[in-house]
Structure 1
Amino acid sequence: MTVRARTAAAYPLTWLYAPGDRPRVVAKALLSGADVVIVDLEDAVAPDRKDYARAATADLLADPEHPVPVHVRVNALDTPPGVKDLSILAALPGLAALRLPKVTSAEQIIHLAQTTPPTAPGTTPLHALLESALGIERAHAIATAHPTLRGISLGEADLRADLGVRGDAGLDWCRSRVVVAARAAALPPPSQSIHPDIRDLEGLAASCAHGRTLGFLGRAAIHPRQLPVIERAYLPTEEELEQAETIIKAATTEQGAQALKDGTFIDAAVVAAAHRTLALARRR
């Protein structure tokens, strides 16, 4: 029986990966409570399982209705599996967006946006994953390449290997670079890359808290048990909600810029941030 698609969250916080060659896992992911499910045809699928994963994903996407939006991470664009992924999947009605790995140039986005899907060029939303030093250096050019590009984010495992950095803090400059590029391009804040240890929920929570301070919004996950931790970390706290309500009330009852009793200065940017906080709390 087909499950009616729910309205996509205005502020998605959880993006759950599921391997494309395991349809039962994908089916469970769709009912896990994640805001978005990403069917992975790339890293999670062995080379000898690529064809099966693609066929299983095509069966899934033949149905236009799912409990949550379904994205597909295709294989690298310059590889035969990636070309097959795009030719078979890009025009299917159940596809909400394509996630593109290892993007290094704006030209890749422009070419894909102009040619995929064949039945409606330029309409399939695209999300670029930056996973190399070259991709990071070109982050703003990629982010502004084409209107169908709806988001950028990091692939931290490959990026860490490319840069040879050690420790989590070694990627903070790259993280900030992507956050700034997304903002400059008027794209949504990026979601954080995965936390690979599914048992380390305390570490996940701490990492999410750090990501939030850097300007990320939400996070990709590889197991359903990570979803509540991510959501808690990124939803506004009671104090933040109270502060946002106070700011909006003051802005609507007084004329001009002013300061609250705690010294918080209120201007248009502060009010806009307060509205975003309340919208995030009401996102479902």
Structure 2
Amino acid sequence: MPTFNQGRVQSLLFVPGDRPERFDKALGSGACSIIVDLEDAVAPGAKMKAREIVSSWASGERPVLLRINGRGTPWFADDLALRELPGVAGIVLPKTESSDDVSQVTDGVGRNIDVYPLIETAAGMSNVREIVSTRGVRQLLFGTLDFQVDMNIQGDAEELDAYRASLVLASKVAGIRAPIDGVTPAIDDPERIARDALNSKRRGFAGKLCIHPKQVPIVNAVFRPSEAELDWARRVLAAVAESRGAVVSVDGKMVDRPVVLQAEQILVTSGGIGHAA
């Protein structure tokens, strides 16, 4: 069962850090990565217990991401100590607003640690170019719910699309993975989850955060290429290979360099060739 996928990432599933009975279910959900959550999912009085649970459970055989409490909270320093655990593949950093926030996670650690900044505030969005250029940043996550509150935005669909574009653009310019979009609060509404995931995909996101195992297969299905897309990509690359440099067309459309790159990306996303960055 995959617990942390260094390549293709479509779904990242949160699991409360103080609920160890849910860990195995999360690991078996089909999610590409698991985020053990010490922040929003854990009440203040349970923070210490959650750290003890994670410390005893974490293992290099089942690496996961760990969302710690943010800088400026009374739990930050103790949470940060868990970055040295062999089972922690990366740190999800809430309310990231500056390069210095990221450096607080990467400095003084005995190994390289990937940081996944959650952009959840106006300040974080304003400073996103600085954040993505900081050593250790692996991928941006969009904390849509907190961002709506901070910006007083009513709605999480087209109301946030301009900000989604900012995260995708900043990630591309910095040469890091495309970002991961925020959660859909609805758990028992598969149509809403699929619609939100499709919007994320169309906006250039690499995947979506999930808050329940039910959401995982829906998100994965949206982000993975369809059979029709895979068939088209294979035919494009086959036609180019056989052309020996001559101009070719597929389905009545000329195949130029951008089309070839699109076909290659589809196969990379499916696992057909190479590895995603």
Return the TM-score normalized by structure 1. Answer: 0.89
Shift of 1:244: 0.8
Indicate conservation of the 8 Å contact 1:257/1:267, yes or no: no
Range that drifts further, 94-103 or 233-242: 233-242
Aligned to 2:258: 269
**Structure 2 CA distance for aligned equivalents of residues 257 and 135 of structure 1:** 48
Range that drifts further, 169-178 or 102-111: 102-111
Q: 28, 34, 37: which one pairs with 1:37?
A: 34
**Structure 2 CA distance for aligned equivalents of residues 200 and 85 of structure 1:** 34
Aligned to 1:204: 193
**Structure 1 CA distance for aligned equivalents of residues 206 and 186 of structure 2:** 20
Aligned to 1:112: 105
1:171 and 2:160 correspond: yes
Q: 58, 70, 77: which one pairs with 1:83?
A: 77
Aligned to 2:144: 156
Report SS of the residue matched to 1:224.
coil
Fraction of identical pairs, as percent: 32
Aligned to 1:19: 16
Indicate conservation of the 8 Å contact 1:192/1:220, yes or no: yes
Report SS of the residue matched to 1:252.
helix
Amino acid paired to 2:48: D
Structure 2, unaligned runs of 5 or more: none
Range that drifts further, 207-216 or 253-262: 253-262
Range that drifts further, 162-171 or 152-161: 162-171
- What RMSD, in angstroms, separates the aligned Cα atoms of the two structures? 2.0
Amino acid paired to 1:230: V
**Structure 1 CA distance for aligned equivalents of residues 203 and 248 of structure 2:** 25
Amino acid paired to 1:54: R
Indicate conservation of the 8 Å contact 1:39/1:70, yes or no: yes
Matches within 5 A, 1:48-197: 48-61=45-58, 63-66=59-62, 69-87=63-81, 89-115=82-108, 117=109, 119-120=110-111, 123-146=112-135, 148-167=136-155, 168-197=157-186
Shift of 1:137: 1.4
**Number of equivalent positions:** 272
Indicate conservation of the 8 Å contact 2:236/2:250, yes or no: no
Indicate conservation of the 8 Å contact 2:3/2:33, yes or no: no
Structure 1, unaligned runs of 5 or more: none
Return the TM-score normalized by structure 2. Answer: 0.92
1:231-260 superposed Cα distances (whole Å, 9 cap, x missing partner): 111111122112211221122222447452
Report SS of the residue matched to 1:150.
coil
Indicate conservation of the 8 Å contact 1:257/1:265, yes or no: no
**Structure 1 CA distance for aligned equivalents of residues 34 and 3 of structure 2:** 13
Indicate conservation of the 8 Å contact 2:237/2:263, yes or no: yes
Amino acid paired to 1:138: N
Shift of 1:78: 2.0
